Chain A
Amino acid sequence: MKTASPDKSLIYQDVFSSGQAAEPAWQRYGALREQALAHLAAHGLETRGDEAWVHGSAGGLAGGEALPVSGLRQTTATGPAALARSHRLVFLNGVFAPERSNVGELPAGAVVQPLSTGGETAQLGGLPVTEATGLVALNALFWRDGLRLELDDNTVLDLPVELHFINDLAGKPGLVPTRNLVQVGAGCQVTVIERHEPGASKLIEQPLTEVICGVGSRVDHIKLVGGAAAGEHFGRTQVVQQQDSRYRSWEIVTGGHLARREIHLELAGPGAACDLNALYMGRGRQRFDLRTRVAHNAPGCTTRELYKGVLDGEARGVFDGLIRVARDSQQTSAHQTNRNLLLSDDAVVNSIPRLEIYADDVKCSHGSTTGQLADEQLFYLRTRGFSPAEARTYLAWAFASEVI
């Protein structure tokens, strides 16, 4: 079942070939874009029908006509406040904005630059976790820019790498895909912060980040989706972890009319560990969709997932997590937790925590709870002089703060 038939992908082909001459970025990574075009031509944009879209919504992508917009590179939109000290790169409508960026001093062995500069890197799009899906192909076809972070072995970045993605298409509909590559060698340490603001309605933001964690490396990855509840966000992170590496992720989603975030992670070397956290807080008619796919393909790896949602108004939240333990991935430890707090009777939550286990010497568990604030706790705070609203706020805050 496909919402966008292969015929509709002809539109993508047209836009791509007619825009290619004017878009230097689209002239790079030809093989990757060819592949994407072929995938879209053959399969269209699958946004329904299979397990990956249960309870999901493709929003403005469902029509299959969300297209990139050219010529809108300037904007007065300011975006979120920058950190005082960081290696900062700012992207306006998916294009690098040097005047707003400040990469600063880098230690030897570190490359922090826009993906649109320098030679092509063979690593891009080459991760084994990259399934051929319509969304990945759409991103691969149309991305213009993003981060390129490369660290030689044993390089440590003390300051975080901060990415701002600011979108403003002056009210026009459009698709803004961005692409980031984080490739760190053995023993490296780095923190990457992505800050997204989906922008106005009819705007669809689509970032895709690939992370390669070298042997014994430490990568912290923070993704914030904030701003107004208007645009749509389809974000995806693909991670491959080598032996003894540690990857920690925090996804904090509060903005966007519709936000879907996916993590596809492979524990490829023994002893690797990942720690995935998320907090999604929705109100009004916001719709958040968080999905994780973790593949334990080596023995002795660890996964810990904590995804928490707070939903008010008519908001809707989906958590769909799958941990797959391959045959011979013995001594695996994997724990997945999803907790949801419903503050309104019109909020809806869907939770699908899944385990697929093919090895016997494993410790795996998952838990999912959904409920409201406990009356006893509210009462306790009331007796100490807090108003009902205050009590609710504090308790919701306490619930959420476990993730942060």
Chain B
Amino acid sequence: MSDEKKMLQELSDQEYKWGFVTDVDADTVPPGLNEDVIRFISHKKNEPDWLLAFRLKAYAHFLTLTPPRWQKVQYAEPDLQAISYYSAPKQKEKPKSIDEIDPEILATYEKLGIPLMEQKRLEGVAVDAVFDSVSVATTHQKKLADMGVLFMSFSEAVESHPELVRRYLGKVVPHTDNFYAALNSAVFTDGSFVYIPKGLKCPLELSTYFRINAANTGQFERTLIVADEGAYVSYLEGCTAPQRDENQLHAAVVELYVHDDAEIKYSTVQNWYPGDKDGKGGIYNFVTKRGLCAGDRSKISWTQVETGSAVTWKYPSCVLKGDDSIGEFYSVALTNNLQQADTGTKMVHLGRNTRSTIISKGISAGRGDQTYRGLVKMGKNAVNARNFTQCDSMLLGDKCGAHTMPYIESRNSTARIEHEATTTKIGEDQIFYCNQRGISTEDAVSLIVGGFCREVFQELPLEFAVEAQKLLSVSLEGSVG
């Protein structure tokens, strides 16, 4: 028992490894939220009038909303007036190539293990890196462009392909969706834009790396991915932030739009700064992610590994509108110390023969508190729709909490919904079995947790799976259930 305590202690004491701050000159607007700031952002980014109108409409709506309180997390509400809504690394001109990017920034990404230098890149992955609010570099641009894939920062897309952006922006997550989506729609600064043309299976995996660097800023990025008929893309997202004592807000919006026979696979490894062991500081991760399977036989697959953030509160969702469309959600969430996560998914079945699968694995350690909250809704026309949900929680230690709150609604008698959830700890017999075979207790825990999460990890693209495994084993070092 004392061993267990000691190891849990070690686990709790682990430091955040990505907590450094990069010293770069940045253009930052003074903190505050008002129409002028929105106009400033829009002007700074050279946006067309319709986009400014979109922002202002969202802001007007935002003013009518109050922050939601139904989620099962406790936190000091962020002071939205104390946040600076624009922070960009200072540059004289837009860099023509990666060589012109501030070496400090490049060094930061090196530290994070995201070398932007293309020659160093693993073949097959294109990266868009977002530093604070601005996209700093996108790799493999040319190769992608030759195939007709548009992969660029959101601001670039607004300049070069305004008609596409205008057509899809806010179609999946309207500015009226929720408090933080409205805020994002008003003040979003940058993000990634992806368009995969008809019939193309994108051979590269596209990746965005987000980093919050400056103090007192929030990150409000906007990602929009469109897969046209028969297209396929695998998209990866990673996040880190420096270690600071105050809470920083990350309120992103991700929209996926999938046409007939197309597929988007979206994978996230989220490792924002979780705060120190007393719960001081850390990122508030309040993100709205939603995909629309607009076309028949379309497919969206969300895979997420959540290990960071002080408070995570997000529900990557699928709206299955097209007939025979498929939604998938695979999630591993780890909460440690005082981390809190209220996460899950929404599967809204509208079309006929739509299918969805939800596999959620939650691991709570230290004084972490975790909630799976998911909605499965079968609409009136969801004939023969199917859903299977499995949520498993594992508790490491007796001070943490694991909660499961599914919301299930069926309006069609031919729809079938299955939900299963279990909550357990690692059995002493399992550990004993491993010990008997010469596996140390620590390795046994790692082995068992690895097995517990396997169903999700095998959905991740190879490199991400490796990263996720590492993240998890680092977080679990020395923990014995």
Residues on A facing B (Cβ under 8 Å): 51, 54-55, 327-328, 330, 340, 342-345, 347-372
Contact = CB atoms under 8 A, between A and B. Distances in A.
Nearest to A55: B409
B396 A367 contact: no
Interface string B414-438: 1111111111110000000000000
A354 B424 contact: no
A343 B413 CA distance: 6
Interface of B: 70, 378, 380, 393, 395-425, 481
B425 A361 contact: yes
B408 A348 contact: no
B398 A360 contact: yes
B416 A371 contact: yes
Given A352-B408, A368-B408, A357 B393 contact: yes
Contacts, number: 117
Contacts of A367: 418-421
Contact of A347 (B70, B406, B413, B424): B413
22 contacts: A54-B407, A327-B398, A328-B398, A345-B414, A347-B413, A349-B409, A349-B410, A353-B404, A354-B406, A355-B405, A357-B402, A357-B423, A361-B425, A362-B423, A364-B422, A365-B420, A365-B423, A366-B404, A367-B418, A368-B406, A369-B419, A370-B408
A212 to B, nearest CB: 29
B418 A357 contact: no
A353 B419 contact: yes
- Give chain A's interface secondary structure class: strand
Contact of A352 (B393, B405, B410): B405
Nearest to A359: B398
Nearest to B401: A358
Contacts of A358: 400-401
Given A352-B408, A353-B419, A355-B423, 9 more contacts: A350-B408, A350-B409, A359-B398, A364-B423, A366-B421, A367-B420, A368-B406, A368-B419, A370-B416
A354 B408 contact: no
Given A367-B421, A370-B417, A354 B380 contact: no
Given A355-B403, A357-B401, A369 B413 contact: no
Contacts of A364: 422-424
A345 B421 contact: no
Contacts of A340: 410
A360 B403 contact: no
Given A362-B423, A365-B420, A348 B410 contact: yes
Contacts of B424: 362-364
A137 to B, nearest CB: 24
Nearest to B399: A327
A227 to B, nearest CB: 26
A353 B407 CA distance: 8
B409 A348 contact: yes
A357 B395 contact: yes
